[in-house]
Amino acid sequence: MIGHPACPVEPWCLRATSLDLGVLAQFESLFALSNGHLGWRGTLDEGEPVGLPGAYLAGVFELRPLHQAEAGFGYPEAGQTIVGVTDGTLVRLTVDSEPFDVRRGVLHSHEQVLDLRAGTLRRTADWTSPAGRRVVVRSERLVSLTQRGLGAVCWSVQALDGPVRVVVQSELGVTAPPSAAGGDPRSAAGLTAPLVAQTHTVTDGGVRLLHRTRLSGLLVGAGTWHDVTGPPGTRTDVACTPDVGRTTVTATLAAGQQLGLTKLVAHAWSGTRSGAAVLDEVDAALVVAQGVGWDGLLSTQRTYLDDFWDRADVVLEGDDELQQAVRVALFHVLQAGARAESRAIGAKGLTGPGYDGHTFWDTEIFVLPVLDHVAPQAAEQALRWRHTTLPLARDRARVLGLAGAAFPWRTIRGEECSGYWPAGTAAFHIGADIAHAVLRYVRATGDTAFEATVGVDLVVETARLWASLGHHDGRGGFRIEGVTGPDEYSALVDNNLYTNLMAQQNLTAAAHLARAHPGRAAALGVTAEERTAWEAAAAAVVVPYDEGLGIHLQDDAFCDHERWDFAATPAEDYPLLLHHHYVELYRRQVVKQADLVLAMQLCSGAFTDEEKRRNVEYYEAITVRDSSLSAAPQAVLAAEVGHLELAYDYLAEASLVDLHDLQHNTRDGLHLAALAGCWTALVVGFGGMRDDGTTVSFTPRLPPGTTLLTFCVAIDGHHVKLDIIPARTRYTLLSGPPVTILDHGTPVVLDAGIPVHRPPAAARSLPAPQQPTGRAPVPRAPHRTQSQHRAGLHGGGDVERTHACAPRWPSPGR
């Protein structure tokens, strides 16, 4: 919550210098630690007060019935909801029989720090109990980026006066699932006791618990190990019940003495292996971690993140608040996928239960394009997860009377979990989005082995869907009807432009890959006739355009609808879906989120510069941004057509969506797609990066009021760094053989280690387009250094600056 007075602007951490219980749940999301497999929300160590407790394992879910008021053929019958697993973060404390509770006694100071370089969450609390005993509690926790199922806590209490008797209870236990938030479809469904105890065991140094999810039948194991340090007479006892394991440490501390413990927590789960095998995995993780020790875990975490930041850091000088926000965003995007390893990346990652923990098209279109460049192994694993669900997608296509594969709109395991089919099943563009993600990943990494196997399978089967879903109309057009595009305020439309252009890309790519990899294509049953049919459909795809308005249409009939009355819509009615029935929304020109504008970003070559300008102006006036997905694509196109201040405003909105809780649901978890979108707004928007599949081009521009923009990108296994200042752009090839790029349309040959300087392009200044009444983004004040602005509030101090990526790239193909 950078906008919160307790949060100073700092370049490499997110710090809260006091505790505000009114936004406790929001901070729990922001302070969450994860590695894509295991996630811990940033809850207080003692467990209370708490906004939303949560420890999560990617892929662990519970089934729940999807009650249909009127059942229909092919409607999904069961949903999937993320389950909070056994939580090992809890460390309770009593001081002379008084429980440590920040709501009681006197809290002299409280600080939490999410360290983006160390990958840890640190906390310090100076507290006097109601009985007058003063102690300082310190903790540091991490979720390992190198050991998939491991988390660790280093905790201590120091007596400032004494003697004082302290009792520490370190727990591993089941927490109550969050209750459903009525009326908000973005929240999780309520579950009742989803974990059923199987076995519980006391071990040397801790406990082991094994549970089974009640309906989905997944086995979930966890175990702890403790290393305790304290004065003579310190005593440790371990006890275990089916749902709670507790290690209790008692000691008497003199003034200045402290009691400390290091707690290792290991998790494992399976839907196929035995309970003994799951617990063996837990034990193995604990043994490895014991050998490394706390200091070793810190060291390997730092080494991992040093390597990541060498590739991923984006430097934005002149706006310290956004610099901090961009790094926080990149850190959480990394955490969402680093060790997901063939599991889905959910819309909230593992930071909270929002959207039931489901993955959507957000992953392929917003998150993976960033991971392609900053953590390509995570992008590969996410696509491999989609590939594991291909049999389910084929089955779903058959139910729908279609060929190929119909991937689910929202899911955890691979089955469709959306009960509202007009905005779920009908959003067929998810198939083309997955194919697009395959093409982007291969283009960035040069991973031809992946292309020849997983890539061919995904692109071919999604192309088959389009060939069966669309039809030739007898007038030379290939039409795709009855679909829902990215804008969920329009449903079941004909020829949604985004869907058609993405399907065209999908069909063209399938024909190309089938020719490039004939063995794999033959194994899939691809024939020459089928390839020819794909190419014919792609060449004839209908692209709706209105000659009178001079704009592309979001769908065939979109501009025939009456415009929404924005002037008569009060601010409290947004987001509209929470206050207006879809029957109102579907009949009017009102856009929830970038749809046609996103098509112009992803299929840039399908539009002329003038068409982009006119389209932006038209759709800006009716787009209300009721989704966090919208700001980043709008930033990209605003920058491209010359509305740099508007682009900067949208960049800030994407970057600050959770730090300022702009969607009012950060408590349920972070908005990963929007956070990834701030990288895209900078690199694709202000950096002007475009890739037509053969050539990568840049049209660099600086955000207003900034003095330097630096970032690194991957191009077919090459790694290129851009340093953009007002006077020039410097291109440096960091690794790989020579490569040719375009700078403002001019070919530039890059050789490794030899910087190339290019002059800036002539600045364009266009009148700003209008947004719907009351829906303009908050203007980003230029020429203001945020750290200076806040110095009076937070004591100032030196601000660390980073001027380069300090590259240490691995060789291509690593």
For residue range 528-572, list pLDDT tens digits in order: 999 999 999 999 999 999 999 999 999 999 999 999 999 999 999
Q: What pLDDT is recorded for position 28?
A: 98
Residue 246 has pLDDT above 50, yes or no: yes
Query: For residue 433, which of 537, 509, 503, 374 has the smallest C-alpha distance?
Result: 503
Collapsing DSSP to helix, strand or coil, 204 comes out as coil
Q: What pLDDT is recorded for position 178?
A: 67
| DSSP line for 57-106 | ETT-EEEEE---SS--TT---EEEEE----B---EEEEETTEE--TTSSE
What contacts 683, CB < 8 A, 6 or more positions away?
Answer: 314, 373, 689, 711, 713
Residue 785 has pLDDT above 60, yes or no: no
Q: What pLDDT is recorded for position 1?
A: 57
Is the residue at 31 inside a domain?
yes
Is the residue at 415 inside a domain?
yes
Q: If residue 301 lies in a helix (H) or strand (E), which one and from where to where?
A: helix 275-312
Residue 189 has pLDDT above 70, yes or no: no
Q: What pLDDT is recorded for position 725?
A: 97
Residue 578 has pLDDT above 70, yes or no: yes
Are residue 126 and residue 213 in the same domain, yes or no?
yes
Quote the distance between the C-alpha of residue 347 and its chain's center.
6
Are residue 258 and residue 386 in the same domain, yes or no?
no
Can you tell me the mean pLDDT for 634-662? 96
Domain around 277:
14-307
CATH code (residue 424): 1.50.10.10
Percent helix / strand / coil, the chain, rounded to 5: 35, 25, 40
Which one of 519, 543, 567 terminates a domain?
543
pTM comes to 0.94
Is the residue at 611 inside a domain?
no
Is the residue at 797 inside a domain?
no
Q: What pLDDT is recorded for position 242?
A: 96
Q: CA gyration radius for the chain?
A: 27
Residue 610 has pLDDT above 90, yes or no: yes
Gap between the Cα atoms of 58 and 782, Å rounded: 41
For 559-591, b/e burial (b = at least 16 CB within 10 A) is beeeebeeeebeeeebbbbeebebeebbebbbb
Residue 811 has pLDDT above 70, yes or no: no
Can you tell me the mean pLDDT for 732-742? 95
Query: For residue 203, which of 312, 280, 132, 296 has the smallest C-alpha distance?
Result: 280
Can you tell me the mean pLDDT for 492-506? 98
Is the residue at 422 inside a domain?
yes
Q: What pLDDT is recorded for position 813?
A: 31
What single-letter DSSP state applies at residue 682?
A: I
For residue range 325-345, list pLDDT tens digits in order: 999 999 999 999 999 998 999
Collapsing DSSP to helix, strand or coil, 753 comes out as coil
Please tell me which residue, 183 or 23, carries the higher pLDDT value: 23
Q: What percent of the chain has pLDDT over 70?
A: 94
Are residue 303 and residue 401 in the same domain, yes or no?
no
Are residue 299 and residue 378 in the same domain, yes or no?
no
Which one of 265, 280, 307 terminates a domain?
307
Alpha helices in 151-217 (DSSP H): none
Can you tell me the mean pLDDT for 589-600? 98
Is the residue at 761 inside a domain?
no
- Two structure tokens written together for 598: 């996103």
Can you tell me the mean pLDDT for 664-668? 95
Q: Is 530 a catalytic residue?
A: no
Average pLDDT over the chain reads 93
Are residue 271 and residue 384 in the same domain, yes or no?
no
CATH code (residue 225): 2.70.98.40
What contacts 389, CB < 8 A, 6 or more positions away?
Answer: 407, 411, 413, 414
Ranking 220-229, 365-374, 591-600, 797-806 by mean pLDDT, the lowest is: 797-806
Is the residue at 595 inside a domain?
no
Is the residue at 571 inside a domain?
no
User: 602 to each of 50, 217, 396, how far by Cα in Å?
Assistant: 41, 40, 27
For residue range 101-157, list pLDDT tens digits in order: 999 999 999 999 999 999 999 999 999 999 999 999 999 999 999 999 999 999 999
Catalytic pick from 10, 341, 488, 640? Answer: 488
In which band, very low, low, confident or very high, does the pLDDT at 190 lie, cut at 50, 70 and 90?
low
Ranking 61-65, 147-151, 502-506 by mean pLDDT, the lowest is: 61-65
For residue range 624-633, list pLDDT tens digits in order: 999 999 999 9
For residue range 5-51, list pLDDT tens digits in order: 789 999 999 999 999 999 999 999 999 999 999 999 999 999 999 99
Collapsing DSSP to helix, strand or coil, 381 comes out as helix
Q: What pLDDT is recorded for position 188?
A: 58
Gap between the Cα atoms of 344 and 414, Å rounded: 9
Can you tell me the mean pLDDT for 287-304? 98
Domain count, the chain: 2
For residue range 419-440, list pLDDT tens digits in order: 888 989 999 999 999 999 999 9
Which one of 287, 307, 327 terminates a domain?
307
Query: For residue 521, which of 532, 529, 510 has the smallest C-alpha distance?
Result: 510
